[in-house]
Structure 1
Amino acid sequence: MSTARALALRFAENAVERDRLGGTPKAERDALRDSGLLRMSIPRAYGGHGASWRETLEAVRVLARADSSIAHLFAFQHLMLATVRLFSRPAQWEPWFEHTAQRNWFWGNALNPLDERLVATPRDGWHEFSGIKSFCSGALDSEMLIVSARRRNTATVVVAALPTQRSGVKTLQDWDNIGQRQTDSGSVAFEKVRVEDDEILADPGPLSTPFACLRSLIGQLCLNAIYLGIAEGAFEEARRYTLTEAHPWFRAGVERVERDPYVLQHYGEFWLTLESARALFERAADGLDAAWGRGEALTHEERGDLALAIAASKTVAGRGGLDICTRMFEVAGARATHSALALDRYWRNLRTHSLHDPLDYKIRELGEWALAGHYPEPSFYS
């Protein structure tokens, strides 16, 4: 974890400038490569560090406090590795793990199952992929991609792992959103791309067993770690600014801002929110490690209990984080809106990221469990 903390301090030095620039954080991606953290979750037998999910997600959270775009790329690296592990045979994922550990490969995402414009056409021993995918976080400057396509004339989803530099693959620099500006979450175009059958992740394949269905829960908990890290980063920035720059309101009747009763009320509420989010996150991360350890013996009920824990944790971190990122200006004051500080980046980043899938539907899932005892239906988002 010391490596993640050192990198977070380094990334924080120019996070504001890079947020304004957008684009690919090439130097920061290379720093992650050099650090060895890209192989953090890979078992030691394949050259990795053998970190638990709790440890890996804690590193995501540490990075998100300083720069949530970098944390996003790092989290998706390990989500893509988990995808390979859960959806494919050992003969596929084992060499990919070894190559990633040996060569510091970065994995990018082109899976987005809601975008069905990419079509897979079966050929003799291979598939042809043609079309486009959106929201492809980390695809630029990656060595490998996880890609999903709709098999032609069917509703079947085909998932594959292939080199980013494969002929016919083109990463497009069309990401220019208000937040998460250095995640390269734009589009990838595929023009008659040849995908071999042994690059298709079909055994056991997506959403095929309770264990394979952990993939979506890992994705949700990755987002959770980012939300919590952003909220903690916003809290620390607000606290520092309040103590060093802010003044009490003239009607408070106090000389120092830390004695203003309304400022204290806000900070008390912030702290309660963060403590609740931390406790739920840690419980969910420990639950994921337990489920991962069960392997193919994992039951539908065990997977369902974990899904509920992660839904609760993600919702509290998301909504609570947005509240802190908005109300932080009420404790920092008008001067804190100066553009050079870019304190609004915390809200912009969390607002952008939290739209990945609506929190309202997470609460609905929790309601279905609380009222009728129904577990969330496994999908790419639950």
Structure 2
Amino acid sequence: MSTATRTDWQTRTRPTDADGWIGRAAEVAGVLATDAAARDKAGATPYAEVQLLKDSGLVTLLGPAAHGGGGQDWPTAYRVVREIAKADGSIGQLLGYHYLWNWAARLVGTREQWEQVEADAARNQWFFGGAVNPRDNDVVVRDEGDSITFTGHKSFSTGSKVSDVTVLEGVFEGTDRHVFAIVPSDSEGLTFHDDWDNIGQRLTESGSVTLDGVTVPWAAAAGYVDKEFRPRVYNTLNVPTIQLVFVAFYLGIAAGALETAAVYTRHKSRSWLHGGFDAAVDEPHVIDTYGDLTAKLWAAEALADTVAAEGQRLHEDPDAVTEQARGEFEVRVAAVKARATDVALEVTSRIFEVTGARSTASAEGLDRFWRNVRTHTLHDPVAYKRREVGRHVLTAELPEPTWYS
């Protein structure tokens, strides 16, 4: 990976608006794209890739401008994730999860807590990871007087070894009270296991983690004051927000697949010998397929942008978020998640119909797009997203806030 562009970023004026940051993300994607297929095959820990995100300023996109952050909003963050995912789905996921975990203090914590976290994160360019897999038994949290300890195991911890800080989640022993806390990723008792070996999203550092009495001061227990949690409806927006992050990198991967395939078709695909056309780009079925897939992708992107704007209105006035507003927003998120899943899977599998048999060569790496989408879209069954939409249409039922809705 070239370092020339990184050095140039450090001497240039940072973007000041959404278009500028999206343009910066496209530049980063250009660097990532040069060896994306090779890095996917190697499966090495993406230290250099995360440093690229830091050097470009993208890690502080949502941070307060007063402390060196980009001061941007969530619709811009989703667009940035899409741009990065066009080149590398794994790095797009890492960046998207980073944005969510960076924002988690604001979602769950007190004003004093999240202001401190966001200021420190922006000044120090922290990269966030998270050990918050809800499918595992909850990590046990114990009250040790002035501190609390986290003990247990999570089978997924995206960002693990490349993160500066990690968001932990657990339940106080003998209760149903959950607690989040942000700790340095090199904290004593926090052990990341190098066991992420899946067919897609290979560079996300999503292996398991063991927590063996990780100690956190009570002051860092997000949203707790005098050992009591102060709930808000806004706390429950963590799921719709991360689901829109998923949408962003699904659509980014699909766009990257379509762009990469189009280059291949223009320069490498051969027309069918019995089709009567000299070039693949002139074959009717090829033209039709690209038109069909592009139209579907553009429609899903437009819906994603619309729903992102709806969500931003909730982020701008957290204390005014009602259960009704939150539920209606989750229905919209469920709809776009379902469409993005279907479109991304279709695009990444059908590109081979218009690139030809030789495009399946391992050296081309076109399969990485489908592998990445297929792997992550299994995160939670899309049928349940469609069900949320259907029930709301038929009975006005709002989804109950859970770890997945």
TM-score normalised by length of structure 2: 0.90
How far apart in 1 are the matches of 2:274 and 2:311?
Answer: 50
Q: Which residue does 2:208 correspond to in 1?
A: 187
Matched-pair contact (CA < 8 Å) for 1:207–1:379:
no
Q: Which residue does 1:202 correspond to in 2?
A: 223
Matched-pair contact (CA < 8 Å) for 2:62–2:69:
yes
Matched-pair contact (CA < 8 Å) for 1:116–1:149:
no
How far apart in 1 are the matches of 2:176 and 2:234?
Answer: 23
117-126 or 277-286: bigger deviation: 117-126
Q: Which residue does 1:236 correspond to in 2?
A: 259
- List gaps (5 residues or longer) in structure 1: none
When residues 114 and 157 of structure 1 are mapped into structure 2, their CA distance, relative to the original with a 3 A threshold, is: farther
Matched-pair contact (CA < 8 Å) for 1:129–1:192:
yes
SS in structure 1 opposite 2:130? strand
24-33 or 108-117: bigger deviation: 108-117
Report deviation, 1:206. Answer: 9.0
Letter of the structure 2 residue corresponding to residue 12 of structure 1: A
Matched-pair contact (CA < 8 Å) for 2:255–2:297:
yes
When residues 46 and 206 of structure 1 are mapped into structure 2, their CA distance, relative to the original with a 3 A threshold, is: farther
TM-score normalised by length of structure 1: 0.96
Select which of 367, 372, 382 maps to 2:395.
372
SS in structure 1 opposite 2:241? helix
SS in structure 2 opposite 1:115? coil
Q: Deviations over 1:288-335 (max 9, x none)?
A: 111111221122222222212211111111111101111110110000
Equivalent residue runs for 1:53-202 within 5 Å: 53-202=74-223
Q: Which residue does 1:284 correspond to in 2?
A: 307
Q: Deviations over 1:221-250 (max 9, x none)?
A: 000000000000011111111111112223
Q: Which residue does 2:319 correspond to in 1?
A: 296
Report deviation, 1:217. Answer: 1.0
Select which of 41, 44, 53 maps to 1:20.
41
Matched-pair contact (CA < 8 Å) for 1:136–1:186:
yes
Pair 1:32-2:53 in alignment: yes
How far apart in 1 are the matches of 2:164 and 2:384?
Answer: 34
SS in structure 2 opposite 1:252? coil
Q: Deviations over 1:185-237 (max 9, x none)?
A: 00111112212211211349999433222111110000000000000001111
SS in structure 2 opposite 1:131? strand
How far apart in 2 are the matches of 1:212 and 1:57?
Answer: 20
| Percent of aligned pairs with the same amino acid | 37
Letter of the structure 2 residue corresponding to residue 233 of structure 1: G
Matched-pair contact (CA < 8 Å) for 2:223–2:231:
no
How far apart in 1 are the matches of 2:229 and 2:302?
Answer: 30
When residues 302 and 165 of structure 1 are mapped into structure 2, their CA distance, relative to the original with a 3 A threshold, is: same
How far apart in 2 are the matches of 1:148 and 1:116?
Answer: 11
SS in structure 2 opposite 1:340? helix
Report deviation, 1:358. Answer: 1.1
How far apart in 2 are the matches of 1:87 and 1:136?
Answer: 19
Q: Deviations over 1:234-291 (max 9, x none)?
A: 1111111111111222332322222322222211220221121111111011111111
Q: Which residue does 1:337 correspond to in 2?
A: 360
Q: Which residue does 1:11 correspond to in 2?
A: 32
Q: Which residue does 2:289 correspond to in 1?
A: 266
Matched-pair contact (CA < 8 Å) for 2:133–2:155:
yes
Q: Deviations over 1:125-153 (max 9, x none)?
A: 32221111121110212121111113223
Report deviation, 1:5. Answer: 1.2
**Number of corresponding residues:** 382
How far apart in 2 are the matches of 1:344 and 1:141?
Answer: 25
